[in-house]
Structure 1
Amino acid sequence: MNELHVEGLTKSYEEGELILRGLELIVPSGTLAAVLGPSGCGKTTMLRIVAGFLRADTGTVRLGGRLLNGPGVHVPPERRRIGIVPQEGALFPHLSVARNVAFGLTGADRCERRRTKDEMLELVGLTGYGDRMPHELSGGQQQRVALARALAPRPQLVLLDEPFNALDSALRAGVRADVRSALRATGATAVLVTHDQQEALSTADLVAVVRDGRVAQCATPQDLYRRPADPWIAGFVGDAVLLPGTVGADNTARTALGTVTLAAPPGGLRAGTVLLRPEQLRLTDEDSVGVVRGTVTDVSYYGHDAMVTVAVDGHDTPIGIRVAGPIRVRPGEETGVRVEGEAGFHP
C-alpha cells in the first residue's frame, strides 16, 4: 500500500514567516490528489517537504507506513521512492528520450532497462520516440517523457509540481488526460500541486484546498464544488452566487432572488450566506411565483456557454447566471430570474 499521511506539518523560513501551520493530508493508495490554493498558501512548500528537499520544523510524513519525516528522521530524497514531474519537464538536453526515461533505473540490467523504457513510452503514447532529443519534442511531449521518467523506477508516490503551466490551453486538456490515464494504469499514488481550479476538479480523485498553511477542506471534486465548507472555498473553486439570507419555515431562506430551498437544515441559525452556483439560475420571460425581475448589465460569451450578469433589487452587485445555447438578452434589457435546485447555507 502506498498511502501518504502528512500530519501536523509546520515550516517557517529565515524571515520568521510561518508558511505551514499544522497541515494535515491523507492521500489513499492509488489516488490522484490535487493540492489547490492561491499563491503563497504553502502548497509548494508541502510538496518539497514530502519530496525530501526541505525539512519540516515539526510534523511527520509517512508513505506506505514508512516514516520519511519526523522527530530525528529525514530520509534523503533519493531513498524515498518518490518520482517528481517538475513544472517544465526538466529533461536532460544531452540525453535522448530513451536515456532520459531510463535515467533512474539504477541497478537494472540492460534487458530490464530496455523493457521498462519501452513500456513507459508506450504508456505515455510515445512509442518510437526513444531516439529523439528533447529539443525535437513539443512541450506536451516533453511533459509525457518527464512522467515516463518519473514512473520508470516504480515509485510509491509521484509528485507533479504544476506540470502543465508551460503548455498552451489547446494542449493542456489532452496532456492532463494522458497523465491521468498513465497514473491510473500503473496504480500510482500521486499528488498534483496546482493553482488552477478547473485543472484540479477535472483531473483529480481528491482535492485539498490549502489556505494560510492549512488544508481548509479535502473532498472529492463533486463534494467540494457542491458542498464547500465556507463561502471563501465556494468562491475559490468556482463561480459562486453569494446572497444574504434569512431562514424561514420548511428549510427555506429568503433572499434577493426570492425564497430558496436549502440543501441541509441550518441547525437553528436564522441568518447567514446562501450559496448558489450560476448554472442553478435561469433567465425567463415568465412573471410568476418564484421569479424576480432584474436588468441585464453584461453578457460574456464563451462559445459553449455565456455568463449573463443581472442586477436585482436588494443585492448590491450584479448576479452571474450561466446560460447555455443562444443568448436572447442584451445589456439594458429587463429579464426574469428563477432559482432551480437547492442552495447551500453558511453562518
Structure 2
Amino acid sequence: MNDLQAAGDLQVAGAVKAYGPGAPVLDGLDLTVPGGALAAVLGPSGCGKTTLLRVVAGFLRADAGTVTVAGRLLGGPGVHLPPERRRIGIVPQEGALFPHLSVARNIAFGLRGADRAAKRARVAELLELVGLAGYGDRMPHELSGGQQQRVSLARALAPEPQLVLLDEPFSALDTGLRETVRADVRAVLRATGATAVLVTHDQQEALSTADLVAVLREGRVAQCAAPEELYRRPADPWVASFVGDAVFLPGEAERDAVRTALGTLPLGPAPAGLKAGTVLLRPEQLRITDADTAQAEGTVTDVRFLGHDALLAVAVDGLDEPLTVRAPGPVPARPGDRVGITVTGEATLHAPDRG
C-alpha cells in the first residue's frame, strides 16, 4: 500500500448548480486543490459550500462545468460518475458511524474485494494511525465524540481514496476537544499524503488547519490562497472582514505610502492606478501609546477582555467610526481614557467594497 500514490489534485471548473428559478447556488465556480494539500472551503451561510461538496462527491449533478480528480473526469457534459465510483472518501458531520457495527467493522465497511486477512491488517493499520489501536471491538456508543470522528476518518481513508471530503466534521465538538481533534485529523491526512477538502464556517479553523483557504461568496471563489496570504493580502474589504477582525479607514496613496487619519503609513501592494480608497489594517497592527509619541489620538469607548488579549474600541479624532485595537497582556486603558495610537507594518489599499 502507498497512500501517497492515491492522492490526486482536484479541479472544479465553471461549476453551476441551481435548485430552481433565481440565482444559482454555484455560479461558475472554479477551484483547484493540488495533490496532497488540505484545502478549507469557507464562507457565509448560503454561499454554496455544501452544494460544492455534494457536487464533487457525486451526490448532486452540476448543471454546467466539470469536476476532475487526478486527471479523471468525474462530472461534466454527458458524464456523471456515481459516488461509489469516484474514489472519494467522506467524513460527515458527527461521524455518522453505523451504530450496530463495531469500530473495526465500520472501518472495514468500504473494503470490498479484499480478503479477511487483508481487511484485518488494513483496519489495524488505520486504528494505529488515528490513535485508537485496541479499540476495534468497541461499539460507536462507547466512544467519545472525538474518537468517533477519528473512526469516521479511518473509514474514509480505508479504501485509499484519491480525495477526502470533510463536511464540518468538528462542529458538534466542544471548543477544547475541537482543537485537539482537528490537529489529529490534520496529522493523519499529512501522514497519508491525502488530498482533502474541509468545508467549514469557522474562520479560525480554516486558517489554522488548511494549506489553502478558498473563500466563497455568492457561488464563486472570492479568493483562494495560503492562510497567511489570505489574511495579510485579502482580495477586497469583504474578504478581509470575513477572515478576521479588520480596521478600515479612508486613505489617499502617494508613491509607496498612504495618507490616513492615523498618519502617513507604508503601503503594501495596491491596485494599479488606485489613488484613493479603503485602507485595511488588522487590529494587532495598532498600538496604544502615550499621546505625545503617537501618530493619532483618541478616546477609549469600549473594552472587551479576552484573556490572552483585549479588544479596545477607540474613537480617533477625525474619524466617524471607532477603530478596534488588539492589545496583548494587561488591558492598557479603560473606557473614557485618552490614548495615543501608533501603527506597525504595512497598510493595504483597496477600491471601496461594492457590498
TM-score by length of 1: 0.97
Q: Distance in 2 between matches of 1:295 and 1:148?
A: 54
> Residue 50 of structure 2: SS of its match in structure 1?
helix
4+ residue segments displaced more than 3 Å: none
Distance 2:272 2:12 in 1: 32
Amino acid at match of 1:107: G
- Partners of 1:318 and 1:168 lie apart in 2 by 33
Which of 97, 101, 106 is matched with 1:95 structurally? 101
Q: Name the counterpart of 1:196.
A: 202
Equivalent residue number for residue 289 of structure 2: 284
1:176-191 alignment, distance < 5 Å: 176-191=182-197
Q: Secondary structure at the match of 2:109?
A: coil
Match of 2:87 among 64, 67, 81: 81
Distance 2:270 2:202 in 1: 32
For residues 21 and 137 of structure 2, the distance between their equivalents in structure 1, rounded to whole angstroms, comes to 47
Q: Distance in 2 between matches of 1:99 and 1:147?
A: 14
CA distances 1:55-97 after superposition (whole Å, capped 9, x unpaired): 0000000011100001110001001000000011000000111
User: What is the deviation of 1:308?
Assistant: 1.1
> Offset of 1:324 from its aligned partner?
0.7
1:35 matched residue in structure 2: 41
Aligned residue among 218, 221, 246 for 1:212:
218
1:296 and 1:331 in contact (8 A); partners too: yes
Q: Within 5 A, what are the aligned runs for 1:253-264?
A: 253-264=258-269
Residue in structure 1 matched with residue 50 of structure 2 by the alignment: 44
Question: C-alpha offsets along residues 206-230 of structure 1, whole Å, 9 cap, x if unaligned?
Answer: 0001100000110000100000000
Give the one of 128, 131, 139 matched to 1:125.
131
> Contact 2:130–2:151 (CA<8 Å) still a contact in 1?
yes
What are the Cα deviations for residues 245-297 of structure 1, in whole angstroms up to 9, with x where unaligned? Answer: 1123x421111212111012553322101000001010001413x52111111
- Which deviates more, 151-160 or 10-19? 10-19
Instruction: Note the residue ranges of structure 1 that are not aligned, 5 or more in a row.
Output: none
- The corresponding residue for 2:156 is 150
Letter matched to residue 262 of structure 2: L
1:200, CA displacement in angstroms?
0.4
Residues 251, 266 of structure 1: 8 Å contact kept? no
Q: Distance in 1 between matches of 2:275 and 2:306?
A: 38
| Whole-Å separation in 1 of the counterparts to 2:316 and 2:337 | 12
Amino acid of the residue matched to residue 267 of structure 2?
A: L
Indicate the residue corresponding to 1:341 in structure 2. Answer: 345
**Aligned twin of 1:244:** 250
TM-score, normalised to structure 2, is 0.95
Counterpart Cα distance in 2 of 1:269 and 1:22: 28
Preserved CA contact (<8 Å) 2:168 2:200? yes
Question: 2:270–2:348: 8 Å Cα contact kept in structure 1?
Answer: no
Q: Which residue of 1 aligns with 2:316?
A: 312
**AA in 1 matched with 2:121:** R
Partner of 1:329: 333
Q: Which string of whole-angstrom CA distances, capped at 9 and with x for unpartnered residues, describes residues 79-118 of structure 1?
A: 1000000011000000111111111111111111011101
Spell out, residue by residue over 1:15-36, the C-alpha distance to the aligned partner (whole angstroms, 9 max, x if none): 4441111000000000000011
Q: Distance in 2 between matches of 1:79 and 1:85?
A: 17
Deviates more, 1:235-244 or 1:252-261: 252-261
**Structure 2 spans left out of the alignment, 5+ residues:** 1-6
* 2:249 partner SS: strand
Percent same amino acid at aligned positions?
A: 71
Residue 232 of structure 1 aligns with which residue? 238
Checking the alignment, whether the CA contact within 8 Å between 2:298 and 2:317 is kept in structure 1 is yes
Q: Which moved more, 1:251-260 or 1:57-66?
A: 251-260
User: SS at the partner of 1:235?
Assistant: helix
